[in-house]
Structure 1
């Protein structure tokens, strides 16, 4: 997913998303949840997610955020427009077992 932050707020957006990533550490079915910032445009932040299955991803979306953690509204408030999402089928590569699952 690619997100464009409001001008000058890419660092804040990345920090909020890194907090979300910490919450997902150890979440059942979460294989990868990476936050990256575009070197040429720091207001562009990418989230790369790999889930064991769609049910795991949906469970993460449905889980309530911790009382002291960011909410989806916190992320949306930093965006200059809607995120761009691309759904992919993992075929393999470095960092995942050959079938893309643990």
Structure 2
């Protein structure tokens, strides 16, 4: 996801109890950036996000969240 503007965090994790289950955590600057990535053609170094979604055996579960703070991107968090 490096080439997609607005992608701030993209993590792929494997479920320890069920190795066939994969979790993807994405943090986007805004919904428009995420939607633009889904509609984009494949980058030169890999598949497009829509191509990856086509590999799933079932529809993904999506949960929209509002980030309130935390770590990982200290340059993005306001100073208290």
Specify if TM > 0.5: yes
| CA–CA separation in structure 1 for the residues paired with 2:24 and 2:44 | 23
- Number of residue-to-residue matches in the alignment: 75
Q: Is the 1:32–1:51 Cα contact (8 Å) retained in structure 2?
A: yes
| CA–CA separation in structure 1 for the residues paired with 2:9 and 2:45 | 23
- Paired residue for 2:60? 83
Partner deviation per Cα, 1:70-89 (whole Å, 9 max, x = no partner): 35355434x33221111111
Q: Is the 2:14–2:21 Cα contact (8 Å) retained in structure 1?
A: yes
- Paired residue for 2:77? 98
Q: 8, 23, 38: which one pairs with 2:15?
A: 38
Greater RCO, CA 8 A, separation 6+: 1
Q: Is the 2:13–2:23 Cα contact (8 Å) retained in structure 1?
A: yes
For residue 58 of structure 1, give the secondary structure of its aligned residue in structure 2: helix
Greater helix share, structure number: 1
TM-score, with normalisation over the residues of structure 1? 0.61
